[in-house]
């Protein structure tokens, strides 16, 4: 089963290598990993998608927690949460095809962010399913390039996953 | 203002460090300059691998943090094998490496390696410090990490301009590591549950591991075993945590464990794992391990619980603390039929070897055990001789066996013995090595001689890589490939060159004739024991088999 892990880490150089290295050396499969800083500049947050059964998942979480620079790990898969991914798609767009593409883009509430002589860049934000669906819809036109950020996720409502106001050394 | 190099030494002093093992080089000069006038003793080894194994032996024999220092590049890479050895056996070590100046980091400068990158998977944590001001805090953190929770090696990489810089020295009393809060006390309700499971069982077995020794829980383990009348099997790392001559002792379990330990585990209805990680050497085929038992697993590292064996009751905590909470909940009970059954296993399936022909390696160990009465510290290398030590030497006290368990690192023995002797100078320190392992690090005889240490070295010389030969005998139909040494030096003569008394023996009688003299003698000595070359380590559990299916 696929799980979405939210991981708070100290914002130190090398911390990404520690996390990535852990996954590869223990044979855990990362499907996607998105990382950036949080409301606290000393803390970064990773959203990691991992394919694992319950037993492996338990190991993934425990091994992550063992890393000294990992502050918090939570499996948000079964919690009420919002997740989003952003993708940019460069699609072949001869003038004759543009209207059709624009129509598809509107249906998906995506945006066109660049138009070249023969191509357009479409930006889409949404859950994984929506991004996949748009990708499939645009593929027949000729998808020249595709880049996805990987999923980011956040719990709904008042529950949060900050470092609870505790100071983290910079 | 003092240099960071000096600050490093002051930090070590504040941590109570009395000696460091190391080897200098260009990138670590500011630290060596500070060592020149320091009270801390520096032991100059002959290869950096020797320094880290010595720090390991020192730490294992004393329970204190071992420290070693090396330069950048090749100095740092020579440490790697020793770091992995310490990591696998959870040995607290702080390593300080020099690094090229910060402006050159990342440029493939002369003698630059990314040692923090290289050692990420084999350290508990590591630091590359670019800000001189934080060095004392980092050192404080390193010691804290190395010795608390599940101990392990921590490396600090210090670029040369950082150690040359000047700072206002201040050593923090305490450090905060937000992401590091090892669980010390076990959960009370789980401990209560353990007491209940113990009373529900009729055939309990305790499996004791290295965690019992590192947490200092041997006295509590003894009480536990006696109160509930449970026999105690040990992992290799756990030997000495429970007195080997106690009637409840089953010796070592596992692939080369005693039959009675393995049978007791297989037939138990409750297995209490204390400070163990259920490594593959102990469990054999996991699916056949302790098939009738409910398992209680106590360990300070939550990630060990459920990794190899799924316990019925997990307890995360320091073994000693957990036992201190558990013991008051227990009242004495008799071992009854179960102990009688286990006594039957011991009677019917003892450890044995045939005593005819030449010098038997098992005999050498048995004799050493008898003559020393288990009072010394025994350091081993890796191979058959290591297993015979584990089987035939009666360890009675914690920290008396120093051996590379998890990594099984040949070459560990001599430098680790040097470290152990520095840590416990009042103890008889005996190294049991093989002719293969010894030749990996015999360069450290130089350190031994220079430091004037009294070690007693016994080489079980079978003129081959015995353990590998044994594997080839069983798994490759005696197609012996690259296991014979057609040349080795005369070890006794070699010992003489380094100022040790050297002996060569090839019969039991000849061994008997020298052993007491060697052990009682003042100076260091080496005994080259020419043992039966094709002796096998039995019992032996073959791949894919359960613990109770050993051959011998
Ligand atoms: C550094 C290293 N290289 C290779 C091995 C694989 N290995 C395990 S035991 C062994 C043979 C050890 O020979 P020796 O030290 O003579 O001991 P014996 O088994 O003969 O007692 C070898 C090569 C190892 N454990 N460590």
Q: Are the C-beta atoms of B426 and B377 separated by less than 8 Å?
A: no
Mean pLDDT over B458-470 rounds to 98
Shortest CA gap A159–chain B (Å)? 21
Q: pLDDT tens, B367-419?
A: 999 999 999 999 999 999 999 999 999 999 999 999 999 999 999 999 999 99
Q: What is the DSSP string of B46-78?
A: SSHHHHHHHHHHHHHHHSSPEEEEE-STHHHHH
Residues composing chain A: 170
- Residue A159 confidence class, pLDDT cut points 50, 70, 90: confident
- Residue A166 confidence class, pLDDT cut points 50, 70, 90: very low
Whether B179 has its CB under 8 Å from any CB of chain A: the answer is yes
CB distance B301–A21 less than 8 Å? Answer: no
Per the structure, the count of domains in chain A is 2
Q: Are the C-beta atoms of B163 and B2 separated by less than 8 Å?
A: no
Residue B77 CB contacts under 8 Å (≥ 6 apart), including other chains: B113, B115, B118
Shortest CA gap A42–chain B (Å)? 12
User: What's the pLDDT at B392?
Assistant: 98
Residue A163 inside a domain? The answer is no
In the predicted structure, residue A170 carries a pLDDT above the cut 70 = no
CA-CA-CA-CA dihedral for B430, B434, B437, B443, to nearest 10 = 60
Whether B306 has its CB under 8 Å from any CB of chain A: the answer is yes
A64 with A94, same domain: the answer is no
User: What's the pLDDT at A42?
Assistant: 95
Mean pLDDT over B47-56 rounds to 98
Residue A165 inside a domain? The answer is no
Mean pLDDT over B98-127 rounds to 98
Q: Which residues of B touch A9 (CB under 8 A)?
A: 179
In the predicted structure, residue A163 carries a pLDDT above the cut 70 = no
Residue A16 inside a domain? The answer is yes
Residue A115 inside a domain? The answer is yes
Shortest CA gap A63–chain B (Å)? 6
Please tell me if the CB atom of residue B335 comes closer than 6 angstroms to any atom of ligand 1. Answer: no
The domain boundary residue, chosen from A33, A54, A79: A79
User: What's the pLDDT at A165?
Assistant: 43
In the predicted structure, residue A169 carries a pLDDT above the cut 80 = no
Shortest CA gap B303–chain A (Å)? 5
Residue B147 CB contacts under 8 Å (≥ 6 apart), including other chains: B65, B92
A93 with A34, same domain: the answer is no
**pTM (predicted TM-score):** 0.97
Mutate which: A23, A62, A63, vs B, most B CBs within 10 A: A62
The domain boundary residue, chosen from A61, A79, A97: A79
Q: Where are the domains of chain B?
A: 2-167, 188-348, 361-530
A128 with A91, same domain: the answer is yes
In which domain, by residue range, is A33 found? 2-79
Mean pLDDT over B289-293 rounds to 97
User: What's the pLDDT at A50?
Assistant: 96
Residue A37 inside a domain? The answer is yes
| Average pLDDT value over all residues in chain B | 97
What fold does the segment set B2-167 form as a domain?
Rossmann fold (3.40.50)
| Residue B459, both tokens | 């080489």
What fold does the segment set B188-348 form as a domain?
Rossmann fold (3.40.50)
A34 with A92, same domain: the answer is no
Residue A154 inside a domain? The answer is no
Q: pLDDT tens, B444-463?
A: 999 999 999 999 999 999 99
Q: Which of A58, A63, A68 sits opposite B125 (nearest CB)?
A: A68
Whether B181 has its CB under 8 Å from any CB of chain A: the answer is no
A27 with A41, same domain: the answer is yes
Please tell me if the CB atom of residue B385 comes closer than 6 angstroms to any atom of ligand 1. Answer: yes
- For B145, name the nearest residue in chain A, comparing CA atoms only: A68
Strands annotated E in B353-397: 377-380
Q: How far does residue B460's CA lie from ligand 1's centre (Å)?
A: 12
* Window from A109-113, A161-165, B42-46, B220-224 with minimum mean pLDDT: A161-165
**Distance (Å) of CA B31 to CA B7, B109, B163:** 9, 20, 7
Which CATH code, of 3.30.470.10, 3.40.50.720, 3.40.50.970, 3.30.70.20, is assigned to B361-530? Answer: 3.40.50.970
Three-state DSSP state, B179: coil
Tell me which residues of chain A, numbers 23 to 62, contact chain B at a CB-CB cutoff of 8 Å.
25, 55, 58-59, 62
Q: Are the C-beta atoms of B316 and B305 separated by less than 8 Å?
A: yes
Q: What is the ipTM of this complex?
A: 0.93
- CATH number of the domain that residue A105 is part of: 3.30.70.1150
Beta bridge partner(s), residue B156: B96, B127
Please tell me if the CB atom of residue B384 comes closer than 6 angstroms to any atom of ligand 1. Answer: yes
Q: Kindly report the three-state secondary structure assignment for every residue of B280-320.
A: HHHHCCHHHCCCCCEEEEEECCHHHCCCCCCCCEEEECCHH
- CATH number of the domain that residue A47 is part of: 3.30.70.260
Tell me which residues of chain A, numbers 100 to 159, contact chain B at a CB-CB cutoff of 8 Å.
none
- Residue A168 confidence class, pLDDT cut points 50, 70, 90: very low
In the predicted structure, residue B552 carries a pLDDT above the cut 80 = yes
Atom of ligand 1 nearest to the CA of B465: 13
Please tell me if the CB atom of residue B408 comes closer than 6 angstroms to any atom of ligand 1. Answer: yes
Q: What is the DSSP string of chain A?
A: -EEEEEEEEE--TTHHHHHHHHHHHTT-EEEEEEEEE-SSTTEEEEEEEEE--HHHHHHHHHHHHHSTTEEEEEE-TTSSEEEEEEEEEEEE--HHHHHHHHHHHHHTT-EEEEE-SSEEEEEEEE-HHHHHHHHHHHGGG-EEEEEE---EEEE-TT---S-TT-----
């Amino acid at each position: 089963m696929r799980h979405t892990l939210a991981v708070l880490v100290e914002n130190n150089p090398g911390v990404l290598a520690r996390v990535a290295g852990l996954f590869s050396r223990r044979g855990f499969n990362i499907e996607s990993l998105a990382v950036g800083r949080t409301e606290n500049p000393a803390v970064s947050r990773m959203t990691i998608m991992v394919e694992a059964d319950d037993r492996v998942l338990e190991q993934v979480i425990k091994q992550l927690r063992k890393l000294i620079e990992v502050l918090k790990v939570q499996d948000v898969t079964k919690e009420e949460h919002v997740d989003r991914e952003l993708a940019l798609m460069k699609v072949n767009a001869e003038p004759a095809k543009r209207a059709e593409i624009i129509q598809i883009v509107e249906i998906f509430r995506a945006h066109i962010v660049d138009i070249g002589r023969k191509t357009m860049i479409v930006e889409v934000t949404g859950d994984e399913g929506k991004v996949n669906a748009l990708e499939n819809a645009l593929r027949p036109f000729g998808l020249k390039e595709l880049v996805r950020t990987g999923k980011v996720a956040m719990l709904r409502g008042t529950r949060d996953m900050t470092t609870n106001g505790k100071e983290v050394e910079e | 203002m003092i240099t960071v190099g000096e600050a490093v030494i002051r930090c070590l002093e504040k941590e109570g460090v009395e000696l460091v093992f190391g080897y200098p080089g260009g990138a670590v000069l500011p630290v060596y300059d500070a060592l020149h006038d320091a009270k801390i003793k520096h032991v100059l080894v002959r290869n950096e691998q020797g320094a880290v194994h010595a720090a390991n032996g020192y730490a294992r024999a004393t329970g204190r943090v071992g420290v070693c220092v090396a330069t950048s590049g090749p100095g740092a890479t020579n440490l790697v094998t020793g770091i992995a050895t310490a990591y696998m056996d959870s040995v607290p070590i702080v390593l300080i490496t020099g690094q090229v100046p910060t402006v050159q980091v990342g440029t493939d400068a002369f003698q630059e390696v990314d040692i923090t990158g290289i050692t990420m998977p084999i350290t508990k944590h590591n630091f590359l410090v670019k800000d001189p001001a934080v060095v004392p805090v980092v050192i404080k953190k390193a010691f804290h990490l190395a010795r608390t929770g599940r101990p392990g090696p921590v490396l600090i990489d210090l670029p040369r301009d950082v150690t040359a810089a000047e700072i206002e020295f201040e050593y923090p009393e305490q450090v905060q590591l937000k992401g590091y809060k090892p669980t010390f006390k076990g959960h009370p309700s789980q401990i209560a549950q353990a007491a209940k499971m113990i009373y529900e069982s009729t055939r309990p077995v305790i499996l004791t591991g290295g965690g019992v020794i590192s947490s200092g829980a041997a006295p509590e383990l003894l009480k536990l075993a006696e109160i509930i009348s449970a026999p105690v099997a040990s992992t290799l790392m756990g030997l000495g945590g429970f007195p080997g001559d106690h009637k409840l002792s089953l010796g070592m379990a596992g692939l080369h464990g005693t039959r009675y330990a393995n049978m007791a585990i297989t037939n138990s209805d409750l297995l209490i794992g204390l400070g163990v990680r259920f490594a593959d050497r102990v469990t054999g085929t996991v699916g056949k391990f302790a098939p009738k038992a409910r398992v209680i697993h106590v360990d300070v590292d939550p990630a060990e619980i459920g990794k190899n064996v799924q316990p019925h009751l997990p307890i995360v905590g320091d073994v000693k603390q957990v036992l201190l909470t558990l013991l008051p909940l227990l009242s004495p009970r008799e071992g009854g039929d179960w102990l009688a059954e286990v006594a039957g296993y011991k009677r019917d399936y003892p450890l044995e070897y045939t005593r005819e022909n030449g010098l038997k390696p098992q005999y050498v160990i048995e004799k050493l055990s008898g003559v020393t009465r288990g009072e010394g510290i025994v350091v081993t290398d890796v191979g058959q001789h290591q297993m015979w030590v584990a089987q035939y030497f009666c360890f009675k006290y914690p920290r008396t066996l120093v051996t590379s368990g998890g990594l099984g690192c040949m070459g560990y023995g001599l430098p680790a013995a040097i470290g152990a002797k520095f840590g416990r100078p009042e103890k008889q320190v005996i190294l049991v090595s093989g002719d293969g392992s010894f030749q990996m690090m015999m360069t450290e005889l130089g350190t031994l001689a220079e430091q004037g240490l009294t070690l007693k070295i016994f080489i079980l010389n079978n003129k081959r890589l015995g353990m590998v030969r044994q594997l080839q005998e069983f798994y490759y139909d005696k197609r012996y490939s690259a296991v014979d040494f057609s040349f080795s030096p005369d070890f006794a003569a070699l010992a003489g060159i380094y100022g040790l008394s050297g002996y060569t023996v090839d019969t039991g009688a000849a061994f008997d004739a020298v052993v007491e003299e060697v052990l009682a003698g003042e100076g260091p000595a080496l005994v080259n024991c020419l043992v039966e070359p094709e002796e096998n380590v039995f019992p032996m559990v073959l791949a894919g088999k359960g613990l109770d299916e050993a051959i011998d």
